[in-house]
């Protein structure tokens, strides 16, 4: 007797259907859903938990890109500690990641 396995497309479709139900479920319900998911897809339990708790992939490829350093255009002012601290607090970033451009 030969067992048939699910295709990857079927597994991902099943995952997308079961994921919202799993995330809303209580602890006891999650256990039952997880057992069902593991038996149907033949996944290891830990792997199935990671799959069910994972964030949804971004809708387009540009969401993966990281932003470059922040660039602040400042009219010429005598730069002092106060100005830098205001910029730091405003951007909430380490000072090394902020570039200041002078006109």
Q: How far apart are CA 67 and CA 35, in angstroms?
A: 41
Q: Where are the domains of the chain?
A: 8-59, 68-101
pTM, two decimal places: 0.54
- Using alpha carbons only, give the angle 22, 23, 28 rounded to the nearest 5 degrees: 55
- pLDDT confidence tier of residue 23, bands split at 50, 70 and 90: very high
What is the rounded distance in angstroms from the CA atom of residue 62 to the CA atom of residue 31?
36
Is the model more confident about 23 or about 85? Answer: 23
CA atoms within 13 A on the CB side of 10: 8
Q: What is the pLDDT of residues 33-91, one digit of tens each?
A: 999 999 999 999 999 999 999 987 766 666 556 666 555 555 545 555 566 666 666 55
For position 10, what pLDDT does the model report? 93
pLDDT average, residue stretch 15-23 = 94
Other C-beta atoms closer than 10 Å to the C-beta of 3 total 5
């Amino acid at each position: 007797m030969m067992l048939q396995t699910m295709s990857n497309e079927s597994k991902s479709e099943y995952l997308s259907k079961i994921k919202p139900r799993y995330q809303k479920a209580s602890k006891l319900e999650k256990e039952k859903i997880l057992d069902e998911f593991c038996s149907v897809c033949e996944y290891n339990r830990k792997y199935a938990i990671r799959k069910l708790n994972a964030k949804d992939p971004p809708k387009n490829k540009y969401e993966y890109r990281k932003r470059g350093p922040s660039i602040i255009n400042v009219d010429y002012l005598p730069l002092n500690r106060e100005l830098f601290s205001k910029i730091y607090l405003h951007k909430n970033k380490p000072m090394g990641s902020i570039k200041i451009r002078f006109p």
